[in-house]
Amino acid sequence: MKQEDFLKERSGNTCELSGGTNDLVVYEVPFSNKSNDINAILITKKCLDQIEKREEPDSAFWEKILPMSMWSEIPAVQMVSWRMLNRFRNESWAAGALDMIYLEDDVLEWAKASGDHLNDGSVQLHKDSNGNILQNGDTVTLIKDLDVKGSSLNAKIGTAVRNIRLVHDNHEQIEGKVAGQMIVILTKFVKKQ
C-alpha cells in the first residue's frame, strides 16, 4: 500500500491535526523517529504552510486544534503538536497545553530535535511595501527609482521584475534581473503584481 493511501485510510481522509478535509497533503515529519514507524502525517495545506513558516502563524486556528491533536496516539502527530505548541508557548492556552501534554521519552527527544522549543516562534516572511507575502518566482514592480550600487544602472519606478528569488537569510531582500543584470532589491521598494 502506498504511504498516501495508508495515511488516508488511517486518518479517515481528514487532516490528522485539524480534522479538515480540503487540500490534504502528506507531510514528512523532519527529525523524527528512524524506526519502521510511519513518520508522515496527512494535513491540510494551511497547516503545512504554517508549520513550514510560509505563512503568518494563526494563533486562533491552532488554539482550536492543538489541545485535541496533542492526545493522538500517533507519534508523528504528537511531535508536530508539541512543536507547534512551543511556537505559541508565550500564550496562555499553549502554555497550559504544554503543561498537560505527555510524550514518551523517545518521542520527546525526536520532537526536540527540530529546535522549535528554543526559538520564539516568530516567522520572518518576505513582504512587499503593502504587506503582501512574496514567493520565489513572483513578479514585482518597483515603487521608487533605484540607483544600483557598483553600477551605472538606474532602475526606474514601474519597472517589472519577473521571477524573483528570495534572499534566504534576509527577509528584507530579494534578487531579480533589471536590464539583464541580477540585482538585490529591498522588499520595501517593490509591490507584488
Higher pLDDT, 15 or 38: 15
Kindly report the average pLDDT of the chain as a whole number. 89
> How many CB atoms lie under 10 A from the CB of residue 127?
17
Q: What's the confidence (pLDDT) of residue 148? A: 85
Stated pTM of the model: 0.67
Quick one: average pLDDT of 99-124?
79
Determine the Cα–Cα distance for residues 16 and 168; give it in Å rounded to an integer: 30
Question: pLDDT for 121-138, tens place per residue?
Answer: 556 778 899 988 888 999
Mean predicted confidence (pLDDT) in 52-80: 92
25-43 pLDDT, tens digit each: 999 998 766 555 678 999 9
Task: Give every strand in the sheet of 173-178, ordered side by side.
Answer: 165-166, 173-178, 181-186
